Structure formats: C-alpha cells, structure tokens
Amino acid sequence: MDKPASTVYPGGSQVVLCVATDNIENTSKEYREKGVDFLHDAPQPFVAGLVMTMKDPAGNVLELLQFKKE
C-alpha cells in the first residue's frame, strides 16, 4: 500500500463492519486490553442503544454496538 487510509469520523467515513455485543462495557474493556484503538473513551448513545467506534490497523472504521432491549 503506497498511501494508508486516513479516515475522518464521522464525516466522510463509512462503517465497514459492526460488531454486536450484549455488554459494551465488558467487550470494549477486553478489546482495549488487546490493543484496539477506540475513537472515544466511553460508549455513546444512539437511537438504537450504545456505540463505540474503533479503527482497524488499516484505518477502517468499525463499530461496537449494544442494542436496547425492549
């Protein structure tokens, strides 16, 4: 790759993959311990639940989602 991806989140980016979890706090802690680079420190509310945004080594934006239980 001559030029690595440079992503500006949320403007101009596209989510490549979303990973659903039942406990975003525990899952994000586990991912951090494995070196995952999150774009914010805590879960963020969105219309369907909670989200944490992260980047993979190539700069792709990924989301960790916890959906509301209704």
Tens digits of residue pLDDT in 54-65:
988 877 889 999
Peptide bond into 10 cis (omega under 30): yes
Percentage of the chain modeled with pLDDT above 90: 56
Top pLDDT among 63 and 14 is at 63
Q: How far is CA 1 from the centre of its chain?
A: 24
Q: Looking at residue 57, what is its pLDDT?
A: 81
Top pLDDT among 14 and 48 is at 48
Q: Looking at residue 9, what is its pLDDT?
A: 62
Do the Cβ atoms of 64 and 54 come closer than 8 Å?
yes
Q: Looking at residue 1, what is its pLDDT?
A: 39
Q: Looking at residue 29, what is its pLDDT?
A: 96
- Break the chain into its structural domains and give their ranges: 15-67
Q: Which fold would CATH assign to domain 15-67? A: 2,3-Dihydroxybiphenyl 1,2-Dioxygenase; domain 1 (3.10.180)
CB-based contacts of 35: which residues, under 8 Å, 6+ apart?
none
